[in-house]
Amino acid sequence: MPDIHPPTKALIAPGPVRGYHVQAKDYAWFQESLAHTTAAGLMTFTGSGHATARHLTDRQGRKRFTGLEHAASMSIQDAAHTLFSNEYVGTGHVFHLNGPRVEAFSGVDEEIFQLLIRGDVEEYRTLVHASRHVRPRLTFDKDWGGPVPVHADDSVFSLRLLPGQDEDPCACPSR
């Protein structure tokens, strides 16, 4: 039901507060709905459209993530990297940033990715919840060659200069 009705105090009923009240009988359904929505967001971050679709309803946009996954039209799960000795899968992009070419990689831990591909949301929630306090938040990975923020859900978005380039911006021709 829309609006939350706070408890009455001293025979005075306060006005309703905007929002929705999830009742105890709906807790399990609500937790599962949140888990699937979070899983869909995480799978979108890795570039896996089909894995994203399995966690969405038609109303949430499942059809947008089904069909052909083509690199020219959307991000696709097409890259894997070892970061901090963990395997991550996701998608990468190369672009120019003030001259030099930069690689960006967004992904998620391979084990979590496999759980979500299979649709095992409960095991995903258990794993992420149990280890959410042991992940680094933002660190420079020497082997990767750039900063790698690792989020509590074990997703990463890392950047690095492509090998063989100077760290100074290129001299662009004057116009």
Which of the pair, 51 or 131, is modelled with greater confidence? 131
Res 26 pLDDT > 80 = yes
Q: Name 40's Cβ contacts closer than 8 Å, sequence gap at least 6.
A: 52, 55, 56, 60
Which backbone phi and psi does 146 adopt, to 5 degrees? -175, 180
Give one DSSP letter per residue of 113-134, joined into a string: HHHHHHT-HHHHHHHHHHHTTS
The radius of gyration of the chain's CA atoms, rounded to the nearest angstrom, is 22
Mean pLDDT (the chain, rounded):
79
Structure tokens at 83: 């970061």
pLDDT of amino acid 73: 42
Dihedral class, residue 41 (left if φ above 0, else alpha if ψ from -120 to 50, else beta): alpha
Which of the pair, 5 or 66, is modelled with greater confidence? 5
